[in-house]
Each structure stands twice: as C-alpha cells, then as structure tokens.
C-alpha cells in the first residue's frame, strides 16, 4: 500500500494534530455565533465563560441560543465527524477497498428502517426524545447482526463477502424504508424520514452527547491498540498471517467495533455521506499509511470537517436548514475526485 505525497514528504503528526485541535476549538467558538440568527462572538464568549464557571449567561436570549440550541449540536457534530472518519479508515482497511465507507455493511440502511418505523408508525413513541435514536440504533444493530450472520453462514468474514453482503442488504433495507414511506398517509412524516436519512444534527441534546463520546473514545482506544495489526492487514491477509496476526479474529473484531460505532452515530445524526470516505484519504496523504498516525488525524480532521458542514447547513439558506449529506456531497465529491487524480497517491487493495 502506498500513500505518497509529492516527493515522499510527510507532515509531522504531532504538530499537525495540535494545529488541527486548536483550529477545531477556535472554529467551534466561532460557529456558535453563526446560524439562522447571527450573534456577536463577544456575546458567545460571555455565555461560555459564565456556563463553564457554573453560572448562567447574563443575556437570556444568547444563553438559550448558544448553550441550549447550538452548543449540543456543534459538540455532537464534532463527535460524529470524528467517529465516522475513524470508522471509514477502519472499514477501508478491513475490506481493503479505497471506496469503502462506514455505511458499507448496511448499518445506515438498517438504521433507516428503524427510524422510519418510529417516524411513520410511531414505534417506541413512549420513549419521548429517545424514540428516534432508540429505533435507529435497534435497526442498525439488527442489520449488523444479519450481515454478520449471513457472512459467517457463507463461509466466514472476508473482504469480498462483506462488501457483497453489505451492498445487497443495504438495498433490501432501503426498499423496506421506501415501502413504509410509500404507504404513509402523512406527508410531513415522509419529509421527516427523508430529512433524517440525509443526516441532521437539529435534534441534538446534551443528554445524548456523553454516550456518543464514550463509544467514540472506546473505539479510538481499541483501534489505536491494534494499529500494528491494522497496518499488517492493510498489506494483505497473507502478509498479516505471516506476521502472526490472527486475521479471522481481527476481522470479526473490526466488524463489531465499526458496526457498533457507526450504529450509535447514525442513531443520533442520521446518514451523513462522504465524511468517512474522504477524510481518511486526506489523512493518509498528510501523514502516510500507518494507522497510529492516520486514526487520530482522521478523527480530528473529521470533527473539524463536520463542524463547518453543520455551519453551512444552517447558514446557506437560512432560516431553513439543509440536510448534512447535501453539503458533504457537494464538498466531498470534488475533493475525492481531486484525490483520485493525484499522480502520487494510490491505495492498493483487493482480494482477501
């Protein structure tokens, strides 16, 4: 596998991570002032200073907009962006395919079925604000179990089998969602399903953030602990086996970690495309192919990317909001085509 920048140069990982982290923090504060109702940055800073010191902002309007409405979705956006970028990097290694994204295994489509059941039929309505997330997570985990079971029944987890099974099951789950929407008598429910399927952070609340942060953090620790095995697996199953890597066990472990991670993120944000596809490639171009470098850079880069995607979704046609996948598609597609055209960048893979 080769991920060369022109001349073989690499950006030092440490300084890059610090720079990205600082840029993300500054961007988060600035983004709190942007939205359907522009705010003064000084007022935003006052609210943050008061809240972080245990008080309440002096201006009730600013306090409500900044702390109750925008802060949860901005933090959730960064968490989702970091998690999807990590999941994308892991999935591309697992199936040894540069076009793989976190939703390859049908997790997003399964979550879509669960979310559609909640929106159209009112399933789990007794759970209140948690109903949609619970339904989506249930659908995602059910899809994961089904894809895993089919793959094992057919002879075990291999890159080709995972890709084919995931693609087929995604199509099947999407058909189920379409069927439910087609027979819905409520046009508003149909619109809500479409908006959710394309990704949105508008429903983010403080209570949802901690579980998502924990899942992303645990996944990061696990993947970084396995970074050398991931490097070996990226070179091919034969190479990994020769180096003593338990390939079958590793593939199952990566499948489970990635599926749970993506399932939790989709449950709180819907399906957001291109983040897990483009960001890992950008990380590899900057720091090379080693996963100990790629994973943290992709995570911080994904957080920064999603932060500004959410700002664009809120600002472009304000006071209306654009689904996040619309923005990521418009931005991510040109970036990915540019990466494909780079003479010095390649991602070798394929086979088992």
Nearest to 339 by CA among 273, 274, 262: 274
User: For the whole model, what pTM was predicted?
Assistant: 0.89
Q: Which two tokens stand for residue 287?
A: 């720091």
- Helix 275-287 vs helix 324-340: crossing angle, to nearest 10: 40
Query: Quick check: bond before 319 cis, omega within 30?
Result: yes
Say if CB 321 and CB 204 are below 8 A apart.
Answer: no
What's the chain's Rg over C-alpha atoms?
A: 20
At 190 the pLDDT is: 78
At 2 the pLDDT is: 41
Q: In order along the chain (352 residues), what is the average pLDDT of each group of 10 residues?
A: 48 92 94 87 87 75 88 95 94 84 84 87 76 85 87 79 86 88 77 83 87 94 95 89 90 89 88 90 90 95 95 88 90 81 52 44
Domains of the chain as residue ranges with CATH: 16-38+74-340 (1.10.3470.10)
Q: Whole-angstrom Cα distance, residue 313 to residue 327?
A: 7
At 229 the pLDDT is: 94
């Amino acid at each position: 596998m080769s991920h060369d920048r022109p001349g073989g140069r690499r950006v030092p990982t440490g300084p890059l991570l610090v720079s990205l982290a600082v840029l993300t923090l500054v961007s988060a504060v600035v983004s709190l002032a942007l939205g359907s109702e522009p705010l003064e940055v000084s007022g935003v800073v006052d609210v943050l200073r008061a809240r972080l010191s245990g008080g309440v902002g002096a201006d009730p309007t600013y306090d409500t907009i900044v702390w109750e409405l925008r802060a949860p979705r901005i933090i959730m956006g960064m968490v989702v962006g970091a998690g999807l970028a990590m999941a994308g990097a892991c999935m591309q290694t697992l199936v040894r395919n540069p076009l793989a994204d976190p939703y390859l295994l049908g997790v997003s489509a399964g979550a879509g079925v669960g979310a559609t059941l909640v929106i159209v039929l009112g399933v789990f309505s007794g759970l209140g604000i948690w109903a949609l997330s619970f339904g989506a997570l249930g659908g995602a985990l059910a899809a994961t179990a089904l894809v895993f079971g089919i793959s094992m029944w057919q002879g075990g987890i291999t890159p080709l089998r995972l890709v084919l099974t995931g693609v087929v099951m995604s199509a099947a789950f999407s058909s189920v969602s379409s069927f439910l929407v087609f027979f819905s008598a409520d046009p508003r429910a149909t619109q809500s399903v479409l908006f959710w399927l394309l990704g949105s952070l508008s429903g983010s609340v403080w209570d949802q953030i901690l579980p998502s942060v924990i899942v992303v953090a645990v996944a990061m620790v696990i993947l970084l602990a396995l970074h050398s095995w991931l490097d070996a697996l990226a070179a091919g199953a034969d190479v990994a086996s020769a180096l003593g890597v338990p390939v079958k066990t590793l593939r199952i472990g990566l499948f489970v970690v990635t599926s749970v991670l993506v399932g939790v993120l989709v449950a709180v944000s819907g399906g957001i495309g291109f983040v897990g596809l483009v960001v890992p490639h950008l990380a590899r171009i900057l720091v090379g192919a080693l996963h100990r470098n790629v994973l943290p850079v992709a995570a911080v880069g994904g957080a920064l990317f999603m932060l500004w995607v959410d700002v664009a979704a809120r600002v472009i046609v304000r006071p209306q909001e654009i689904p996040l996948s619309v923005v990521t598609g418009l931005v991510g597609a040109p970036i990915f085509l540019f990466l494909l055209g780079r003479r010095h960048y390649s991602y070798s893979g394929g086979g088992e």
